[in-house]
Amino acid sequence: MSRFHTIQDVWTFLDSIPMFQKSGSASANFSLDNIRDFCEAMGNPQNKFPSIHVAGTNGKGTTCHLLEAIYEGSGFKTGLFTSPHLFTYNERVRVNGQAISDESLLLFFQQTEGLLEEIKLSYFEISTALAFWYFAHKKVDVAIIETGLGGRVDSTNIINSEIAVITSIGLDHQNVLGNTIAEIAREKAGIIKQDKPVVIGNVAEEAAAEIQKTAQVQHARTLYAEECSPEWNQGEVIVHNQQTIHINTPFSEPVNKWNVACAWLVVQELQEQFSVEEKMIISSIQNFEGIPARFEHIHPDFEWYFSGSHNAQALESSNEAIVQKQPLSETVLVFSLMKDKLNEDTLAYFKGFKKAYFVEQEGKRAAKFSDVKDRLEVELFPEERKEIILKDLKTELVIFMGSFYFYSIVKRWTENVS
């Protein structure tokens, strides 16, 4: 008897599976065997569309969305797979910018119910299989696939992508990927495919050396974003590629010049398969609406911003963007983190603010006030006092920062402030 009659049955099933947000690496499966067997039983949908594979400690989400905007703007039918979702699970899988419908979601679970019983997949593996199934079903021209964690044993890595992208390498998820930049670079380089090019973003020399080693083994041509000498000037990105291109972007963080350069190189490299006019690349980036939770101006009336920065590299970028507006010593910080992000490197970026508040989230993985109060000058931001505190902050420049999982909480709070 079928267990999936309504979309609520799907949500109940997914809620029963541990997810990385709450459980951490214990919820993941660092082997490709299950996802490979599952997709093979479905007829290998991942082989039925061309794909672009994007990994990186930071910047991979933005680069993926930029590529989606460029290709969709040029008339191609695009698929986009990203994670985590901010509000609804459907956000993870998009075609031409539209999230998968509840009806299509339900159909996937109805069609694969027997397989799901036979092959136990993790939460992320189910999401990956769903994306491959949907993109094949919708016959997309090109799918942009973001890795979840790492690369080599990430469940997305059963695709044979046209090109790989590694946006950045920083210390994050060391318990899974390795304790050094070189080890983490080696894991992320695992998405490079035989005889297919790889675009490399802003990475340190030791990371570049590791990526280059893998590229040589795979006979993969390497393209470096630094070859474009990207420049940043208050939101304008300047790319040097045979000629100098000026692009007015919606971005606040200077680091996005590297994401623009990565997207630019991908599109240029794939011109034979997907022809895109240069003016379309420029207009798509200029008209790009940005991505929620990436230094987003979250209230129309107040100088309040949200940045989903949770590792040293991303936090440095966000603080740099804040300082362009005013000194940290004049800025109020409201932040929330997962326990595995609490280390001296990250905590350093939460110091020096005019005032700092810490928000506790639910779940085993979430850091608690007791974890930070002895390490930072910080006050607890209790749910029951949110209206009073936010009212007092109306005249302040406020940065809400930390975990992406904090975003939905902040949105709920700020939507009720006027």
Q: What does the pLDDT look like over 114-136, one tens digit per residue?
A: 999 999 999 999 999 999 999 99
Mean pLDDT computed over every residue of the chain: 91
* 25 pLDDT above the threshold of 50: no
Select from 103, 82, 79 the least CA-distant residue to 91.
82
* 175 pLDDT above the threshold of 80: no
Quick one: pLDDT at residue 362?
A: 84
For residue 317, give Cα distances in angstroms to 255, 312, 334: 6, 9, 17
Quick one: pLDDT at residue 341?
A: 78
Quick one: pLDDT at residue 287?
A: 94
Percent of the chain with pLDDT over 70: 95
Is the pLDDT higher at 65 or at 376?
65
Give the whole-angstrom CA distance, residue 130 versus residue 45: 10
Is the pLDDT higher at 243 or at 156?
156
Quick one: pLDDT at residue 213?
A: 95
- Indicate the pLDDT class of residue 23, thresholds 50, 70 and 90: very low
Q: What does the pLDDT look like over 225-255, one tens digit per residue?
A: 999 999 999 889 999 988 899 999 989 888 8
Characterize 302-341 residue by residue with b for buried, 16 or more Cβ atoms within 10 angstroms of its Cβ, and e for exposed.
Answer: bbbbbbbbbbbbbbbbbbebbeeeeebeebbbbbbbbebb
The pair of structure tokens assigned to 361 is 């989230």
Quick one: pLDDT at residue 28?
A: 56
* 20 pLDDT above the threshold of 60: no
Give the whole-angstrom CA distance, residue 284 versus residue 68: 9
Quick one: pLDDT at residue 183?
A: 85
Query: Average pLDDT for residues 189-200, to the nearest whole number?
Result: 97
Is the pLDDT higher at 28 or at 139?
139
Q: What does the pLDDT look like over 296-350, one tens digit per residue?
A: 999 989 999 999 887 788 888 899 889 989 999 999 999 998 887 788 888 889 9
Look at 50-54, 202-206, 221-225 and tell me which has the smallest mean pLDDT: 202-206
Look at 65-79, 160-174, 293-307 and tell me which has the smallest mean pLDDT: 160-174
